[in-house]
Amino acid sequence: MHPLLIFVALAVNALPITEVLRAQGSVDYFDPRERGGSLLDNSAGLGEPLNVIISGKSSPQLLTPSGFLDYAQAIGFSDGCLGINSSGRQQANLGDGRGLVDEMGVFRQSFGIPGLGSCLEVLTGGNHFRVWKQDGPDANSGALFLAVSQEENLAHKHTIAPDGYNIGRCVFLLLPSMKGFIHFSDKFVEVAKSLKRYTTTIQDITNLLEPGSQGVNHGISQDGIVKLLTITVS
């Protein structure tokens, strides 16, 4: 064997198992709680549930900022009203060694009106989500953790709707299938001037979030189910 290959093999064997998994890209996510993190973000002393995870086994391009923006826009969301987010930034600790970090962004339902539709969501209410990436030195799965919820309209101070965490998560999964190009569909959608097809598998994870309202922002109960999505882009 070539000396360089021997060196690489020895180096990999010397790594902790989590490091090997990172190198192989073969893990869905790391449980944030195992390294001091939480499945609740940090919002006004309480937290909103991170109730959707996009697996680190998804297509690598989807897990990049630009690739995820393409995906979010394809399923009917925009990154703020005209690209501007008026809501306060929230933080989450994904147990990856970075502690509490700011969200990557806030995405709001655009109602089929790119750019302007999310402004309508600010006024009338609708679905929205915040997203964080698990990519710190202690747990670099590359997975995306989303806090998805349904909001009230501006007259109700833009608070979370009753049962808004469960409803928001369900709507997040329903919108793509209504568009007919996701969840095992063979139809295409044009995104960013290129044809892309998103094929998604969904799994329920029931051991990450405690059901109920303890520690949850606004005291709204949620069912404790986290949806794990593995998305392939072709």
Q: What is the pTM of this model?
A: 0.82
Note whether 181 and 190 are within 8 A (CB).
Answer: no
The tokens for 103 are 């969200």
Whole-number Å distance between alpha carbons of 28 and 230: 8
pLDDT band, very low/low/confident/very high, at 91 (cuts 50, 70, 90):
very high
Whole-number Å distance between alpha carbons of 92 and 13: 32
If you average pLDDT over residues 74-93, what whole number do you get? 77
Could you give the residue ranges of the DSSP H alpha helices within the chain?
3-14, 17-24, 65-74, 117-124, 164-179
Whole-number Å distance between alpha carbons of 160 and 163: 8
Assign residue 209 a region (left: φ > 0; alpha: ψ between -120 and 50; beta: otherwise).
beta
- The pLDDT value given to residue 178: 54
Whole-number Å distance between alpha carbons of 142 and 136: 9
Which amino acid is residue 64, in one-letter code? Answer: T
Asked whether the predicted pLDDT for residue 34 surpasses 50, the reply is yes
Asked whether the predicted pLDDT for residue 84 surpasses 80, the reply is no
Highest mean pLDDT of the ranges 10-24, 90-104, 115-129: 90-104
Q: Which residue has the higher pLDDT, 70 or 24?
A: 70
Across the chain, what does the average pLDDT equal?
A: 80
Among residues 93, 91, 95, the alpha carbon closest in space to that of 103 is found at: 91
- The pLDDT value given to residue 115: 65
Which amino acid is residue 195, in one-letter code? Answer: L
Residue 5, SS3? helix
Residue 115: partners with Cβ closer than 8 Å, 6 or more residues away: 78, 82, 83
Q: What percent of the chain has pLDDT over 70?
A: 73
- Cβ count near 75 (within 10 Å): 23
Asked whether the predicted pLDDT for residue 190 surpasses 80, the reply is no
The tokens for 128 are 């929205």
